[in-house]
């Protein structure tokens, strides 16, 4: 089945108001920047986003955040986004902070059909006991706090129950992909991208290089096409547009 879309705009056209999105990338590495820009142009708001972080003020998911189009974020790192912190502390944005490994496993579990799992991460902390502010009032007081989670003892250890994550859509970026949706991720861009892709009911992948079915060896495919519903081939200029979150130079 040919899963290629005519454009990024076509691929995100049915993402509606209030949709939930799993978005790949880490910082600005491997982010689906073209799909995010297309979604910004599409206009959907009140989005519920699951991503490791929310980009920066000027790039990635920060574009949607700055426009007031994101209502809730589930992530593990606030990052370099000052607007993210401002919206969270003033009650404009609901935020669920999750340990990074737990977030990765919640996405993977969702993609594998596992409803929940136990982990030692967070036992004995407010993550398990509840009380972490999810949303503030405008004056900074807590409007909504996280609930307590079920814990259970296995052997000599205590573990906390974490629920899997699934989303209406997933947006990811791959280095190579074929028309059947099989994807190969480039080096460190193979971060949250495969996990986010697994968690989406409709997964949209932007690929830097589109190849014909059979061109990818089965041994090099990182994510099989069964998890991907739409593929967008990037123009050379889009594929080359990769931002650096913090540029450093040697003396």
User: What is the predicted pLDDT for the residue at 35?
Assistant: 97
Look up residue 227 and give its two tokens: 């998890």
Token pair 């978005």: residue: 23
* Beta strand segments in 5-75, E: 20-23, 47-50, 70-75
Return the closest-CA partner of residue 199 out of 117, 113, 98, 94: 113
**Structural domain count of the chain:** 1
Inside any domain, residue 34? yes
Q: What is the CATH number of the domain that holds 224?
A: 3.40.1080.10
Element (H, E) at 142: strand 142-145
For residue 251, what pLDDT is reported? 64
- Which residues in the chain land under pLDDT 50? none
* 194 within some domain: yes
CA gyration radius for the chain?
Answer: 18
Note whether residue 228 is domain-resident: yes
Domain that holds residue 107: 8-115+164-239
pLDDT at 248 (0 to 100): 80
Residue 139 placed within a domain? no
Burial bucket for residue 171 (CB in 10 Å: 0-12, 13-18, 19+):
buried
User: Could you tell me if residue 154 is inside a domain?
Assistant: no
């Amino acid at each position: 089945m040919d899963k290629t879309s005519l454009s990024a705009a076509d691929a995100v056209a049915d993402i509606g108001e209030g949709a939930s999105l799993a978005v790949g990338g880490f910082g600005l590495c491997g982010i689906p920047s073209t799909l995010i820009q297309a979604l910004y142009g599409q206009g959907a708001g009140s989005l519920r986003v699951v991503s490791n972080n929310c980009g920066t003020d000027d790039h990635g998911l920060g574009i949607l955040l700055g426009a007031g189009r994101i209502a809730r974020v589930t992530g593990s790192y606030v990052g370099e986004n000052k607007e993210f912190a401002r919206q969270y502390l003033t009650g404009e944005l609901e935020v669920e902070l999750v340990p990074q490994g737990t977030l990765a496993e919640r996405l993977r579990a969702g993609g594998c059909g596992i409803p929940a799992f136990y982990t030692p991460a967070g036992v004995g902390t407010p993550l398990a006991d509840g009380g972490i502010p999810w949303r503030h009032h405008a004056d900074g007081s807590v409007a909504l706090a996280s609930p307590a989670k079920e814990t259970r003892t296995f052997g000599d250890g205590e573990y906390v129950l974490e629920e899997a994550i699934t989303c209406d859509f997933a947006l990811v970026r791959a280095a190579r992909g074929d028309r059947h949706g099989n994807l190969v991720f480039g080096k460190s861009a193979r971060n949250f991208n495969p996990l986010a892709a697994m968690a989406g009911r409709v997964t949209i992948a932007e690929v830097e290089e589109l190849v014909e079915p059979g061109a990818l060896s089965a041994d090099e495919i990182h994510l099989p096409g069964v998890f991907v519903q739409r593929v967008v081939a990037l123009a050379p200029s889009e594929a080359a547009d990769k931002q650096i979150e913090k540029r450093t130079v040697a003396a």
